[in-house]
A and B are shown apart, each in its own frame.
Chain A
């Protein structure tokens, strides 16, 4: 009925968080540029970049699901935009669906993203670990 609204709302929040973190990272990068360290750190994927993955999944998924709802006539181009908002009983049903299916969608997408970030961290550390355990392998 309107389950895509929950992940779309999460997408709004994560987009704002992404913008804030991006600005913070840029500030930090400018500061660290001034204070040059002796040992150069290997380039890692920034958290803002990883958060962009979540944004893409949430926005993309919500947009495609919104299209499905238009297809089924559940979203209308006129006020109140949701056909279920026309009667009290349908509104209650819609809110129930949002709190169950919608929340589950947001939780699953966020959970998968968390898994992706953990795996990305492991992959990023992989060559370094090899170097530490078998330092003579490459020579």
Chain B
């Protein structure tokens, strides 16, 4: 479930980057790479788990599935927070800088 959530987050952010942020002004490319990195790592984790558990891997208990889904959503939220911090720090459109200057003047 965590892997699936990460894959959906990676695909969505990549599609958004492709159609809305080709020049990476909004750092959506960075966000998608972060999610892809995590998705690839969880894929490896899943392969090893499958090798150990066999078909049982595809039949998790409902409580485990819910916990994994909750984890996946939390991981996606953490990724978004990291992206937001990066975006505000790099400030590609100068919005933060402008706001700070305004505050300084007023």
Contact = CB atoms under 8 A, between A and B. Distances in A.
A56 B75 contact: no
A72 B33 CA distance: 24
Contacts of A112: 36, 40
A87 to B, nearest CB: 21
Given A3-B45, A68-B71, A56 B33 contact: yes
B105 to A, nearest CB: 35
Interface string B19-61: 0000000000010011111111111110110000000000000
A101 B41 CA distance: 9
A51 to B, nearest CB: 12
Nearest to B49: A101
Contacts of B96: none
A100 B49 CA distance: 12
Contacts of B78: 63-64, 67
Contact of A64 (B30, B38, B43, B44): B38
B7 interface: no
A60 B37 contact: yes
Contacts, number: 77
A64 B48 contact: no
Given A67-B78, A68-B75, A108-B43, A61 B38 contact: yes
A47 interface: no
Interface in A87-106: 100-101, 104-105
Interface size class of B (residues with CB under 8 A): 20 to 34
Interface string A45-62: 000000001001111111
Nearest to A53: B33
B99 to A, nearest CB: 27
Contact of A4 (B2, B33, B41, B47): B41
A74 to B, nearest CB: 13
B30 A61 contact: no
Contacts of B44: 101, 104-105, 108
B34 A56 contact: yes
A56 B45 contact: no
Interface of A: 3-4, 7, 53, 56-65, 67-68, 71, 100-101, 104-105, 108-109, 112
